[in-house]
Chains A and B, each alone.
Chain A
Amino acid sequence: MATTTRAATSHSSFRQGLSRIFHRWLFSPGALIRICTLIITAIAMLPIAHAGEGKILAAPGVTQIEGSAGGGLTPWAVLAGYASRDDIAGSVFSSRVGVDDYRLDVWGGALNFYDRVEISVAHQKFDLKQAGAEIRQDIYGAKVRLYGDLIYSEWPQVSTGVQYKRLQDTAIAKAVGAADEEHGTDFYLTASKLHLGAVGGYNLLWSIGVRATKANQLGLLGFGGDKRDRYSAQVEAALAVLLNAHVAVGAEYRQKPDNLGFAEEEDWSDVFIAYFPNKHVNITLAWVDLGDIAGQDNQRGAYLSLTGYLW
């Protein structure tokens, strides 16, 4: 019954999702403080910041929901921030995904060491709106650039990474039949390339990766399950075009495992627009389709993310 209502109104759910996100994200006191701090820090750093010279605008991508540099949903081979091989870059981010029955808040930060190693930390808070429950998870990530440069090398930039995930609230994972309700580790390998002037003079970026994972819904529902309790390989891909020096539009796809018997887990996709006013901030807005989550189908909505590049 609830499904009918949702489905019937799905065409307007983007607008609803958006206004929901703006209201709750911008007007909740905690978030407000967080965002203000972020913006003020970024602006305060403007005159003294000397990083932001190692790459061209938009080259570091944005921050994905597990804290790694990439698109919104998938990690790319790029490392967070504008560091060149001679310096270190630091960035902070805050994201919100609001779909019909759930809301995911993520915030964290990343360090980029000499455009070689990225270390990231992300804290996720997942709200089950109807149940009035929440699941919190911490993710520690590391990414190493193995080869190349997104723009300048002949072959794509290639990186490999890990995401170590630790669930703080384990009751729901346990209840839905996760094999491990405490922690899990994802491993990924990804290749990305920006082609200057590739389509009618516009720059085109693609990224493709494969992830070995046991995580159910990012790990929020634990790791492994009654249906399958081993690693599986999942494909993640993104494609984007830069409309000008400051705006990129694109789409992403993220394959998901389906380890739990109690409900189906589906692949994710999104279309996004990212705005890079300068080398200190980035704002990304997306329309996401997360499929079925824990028995609630057609979870669609909006995604809003802000990354501040501090130095």
Chain B
Amino acid sequence: MTQANSQASSILRDATKAIAITLTAATLHLTGCAGVTQDASLYRALGGEQGIARLVDRFVEEISYSEDIAPFFADTDPDRFREKLSEQLCNISGGPCEYTGDSMRDSHSGMSISEADFNKTVDLLINVMNKEGVPYPTQNRLLKRLAPMRKDIIYL
């Protein structure tokens, strides 16, 4: 009885180990190989053109309410910003749009945007997505495509 149990428990432990190692290896493999797949599923999940337009509208509204972030946009033409951001979100989510705005580096340099500013802005976007009922996995997929841009936005 005792033996059987301790044997079972050591098998359980070995199994846990094996699973952990396999999962880690699989993760490393998957994340190492998987490029960004540019199919339109994320675009559709965001609600297509209309969904993105609504997100951008509310995002601009949220920005204007934020004491920390609004000052960055003091001299910005809101219509142009709305248009360019919509194009960009459409484009990176796999939608049928061309991004015609400036590069991330050009449009954010000279502003000294900090890590904290960046995060607050991301938090505003997440709030907007929550309010618009964008599911959590869809939010993550969008953030994944925005994340690589950070290095061309902060501390410039």
Total contacts A-B at CB 8 Å: 106
Residue ID in chain B nearest A85 by CB atoms: B115
For the complex, what is the distance from the CA of A193 to the CA of B6, rounded to whole Å? Answer: 35
Chain A residues near B16: list those with CB within 8 A: 251, 253, 269, 289
With a cutoff of 8 Å between Cβ atoms, the chain A residues found around residue B120 in the complex are 53
In-complex Cβ contact of B119 among A53, A154, A202 (8 A): A53
| B24 lies within 8 A of A267 (CB) | no
Q: Does A4 contact B (CB under 8 A)?
A: yes
Q: Which of B131-151 contact A (CB under 8 A)?
A: 135-138, 140-141, 143-144, 147-148, 150-151
A245–B19 Cα gap in the complex (Å)? 25
Q: Which A residues are CB-close (under 8 A) to B21?
A: 237
| CB-contact partner of A269 in B13, B137, B143, under 8 A | B13
Chain A neighbourhood of B28, CB < 8 A:
206
Residues of B within 8 A of A85 (CB): 115
Given contacts A197-B140, A239-B23, contact A267 B17 (CB under 8 A): yes
Q: Are A251 and B17 in contact (CB under 8 A)?
A: no
What total of chain B residues lie within 8 Å of the partner, measured CB to CB? 37
Give Cα A269–Cα B15 distance, bound, in whole angstroms: 11
Query: Contact flags (1/0) for A103-147 with B, using CB distance below 8 Å?
Result: 000000000000100000000000000000000000000000000
**Which B residues are closer than 8 A to A by beta carbons?**
1-2, 5-6, 9, 13, 16-17, 19-21, 23-24, 27-28, 30-31, 114-116, 119-120, 122-123, 126, 135-138, 140-141, 143-144, 147-148, 150-151
- What would 20 more interface pairs be, CB under 8 Å, given A197-B143, A198-B144, A298-B9? A53-B116, A53-B120, A54-B116, A56-B119, A86-B114, A152-B150, A196-B140, A197-B137, A197-B141, A198-B31, A201-B138, A201-B140, A203-B140, A237-B20, A237-B21, A245-B126, A269-B13, A269-B16, A269-B17, A298-B5
Could you pull out 11 A-B pairs where Cβ atoms are within 8 angstroms? A4-B5, A7-B2, A86-B114, A151-B147, A193-B31, A195-B144, A239-B24, A251-B19, A251-B20, A291-B13, A298-B6
